[in-house]
Amino acid sequence: MKRRLIFFPCLLLGGLVPVSGGGDNMFRVPLPAEQARPFAVMCSPDDSVLVTLPYPATGWSGRGFMPQGVSVPDGGNAGAAGDFSVFPGDLRGYTRFTISALVDSSNRTLHVFMEGGRSLSIECTIVPREQAFRGVTFVDNVAVSEMTNEAIRSERQRKMKVERSENPPVSNYQAPTPETQLGIKNFMKALLAMNRERALNMVRANPALQIVPLQEENDSGDYTISLRYAIRDSITDTLGVAAVVRNNTYRRLQFDPKSWIIRAGNRVYPVPTAEFDPVIEPEKEATAFLVLSRDTSGMPTRLLPDSPLKLSVSLVGKTNPKPIMMEPANVE
């Protein structure tokens, strides 16, 4: 905290406009009709900054910035192509994008152009992670009233009471929908079909996603649940978990597919979205894809993918896959 208090006066002396916000490193900035100086946005190589615009973008420019996903020549480093990356690379029509630092030290200005001839200049400075911003929302200065600002502050205070991680996610910006949950589930299925390195690279290409390979096992005697990986979408605060259930018996096991539960510490979360074949043949296994977006009260869980997770599912029946058929004896 001391380093942060020392750093911001330096921005004032340098001629930049520091954004206003709270201690969670999420900021709202009224956008003036005419911008005299760039807005200062603190970035870290360890994370991305989510920028939200009041109007759809039409393009961007800035020396030292590159679209995310541009390959770096063999033998070079990330900074050889640019100090920062922008995702998506083509901002036309988007109101949200991320800025990621590619080097340890730099100071560059990004110019973003919006519909209606509007523009925005952002001065990006690389700082340690604890000083970096999580997200910046630029709002129309005329459209935002004091009543709206008070509602935003009240909502932030209410949500901070149920935080599960050190830093709040960017779920303030987009609520999960059935479509986003289905997308996470289908994405997990695709990852499981890839080799480990390719799957990790695919997730790392999206700054909003985090993935943690898991090797946790829960042996219940008749069956064993083995965790494969957990993935988190920070935009909607959605956690996906892939696990394998193995039948350890010579009987056919029947499970209740709606009984999946994720345990994290002393908290229990019923899983509303799961894809799982509830019938497992003897000594066979089935994969479960679980998606958790909110707790039972509708609040974000803020579970990180490296949290100590325990999975459970209800076994409802065991049957003999090859029953012996007894024919009645003939009685004369």
- Residues 125/43, Cβ–Cβ less than 8 Å: yes
Q: What spatial distance separates the first Cα and last Cα of the chain, rounded to whole Å?
A: 96
Per-residue pLDDT, 6: 33
Percent of the chain residues topping a pLDDT of 90: 26
Mean pLDDT of 305-318: 90
Q: Which long-range contacts (CB under 8 A, 24 or more apart) does 159-166 make?
A: 159/299, 159/300, 160/24, 162/299, 162/300, 162/302, 163/302, 164/264, 164/300, 164/301, 164/302, 164/303, 164/304, 164/307, 165/302, 165/303, 165/304
- Give pLDDT tens digits for 168-185: 444 445 778 888 888 888
- Give pLDDT tens digits for 58-107: 999 999 999 986 655 444 444 446 889 999 988 999 999 999 999 988 88
Count each helix (H run) and each strand (E run) in the chain, helices first.
5, 23
The DSSP string of 146-209 is HHHHHHHHHHHHHHHTT--SSS--GGGS----HHHHHHHHHHHHHHHTS-HHHHHHHHHTSTTE
* pLDDT band at residue 266 under the 50/70/90 scheme: confident
Treating both helix axes as pointing N-terminal to C-terminal, what angle do 196-204 and 178-192 enclose, rounded to 10 degrees?
150
Domains, the chain, with CATH or none = 2-161 (no CATH), 178-319 (2.60.40)
Whole-number Å distance between alpha carbons of 289 and 182: 10
- Give pLDDT tens digits for 14-67: 333 334 444 457 777 777 667 778 888 889 888 889 999 989 999 999 999 999
Q: Is the per-residue pLDDT at 109 higher than 60?
A: yes
Q: What is the pTM of this model?
A: 0.47
- Residues 37/17, Cβ–Cβ less than 8 Å: yes
Mean pLDDT of 197-201: 79
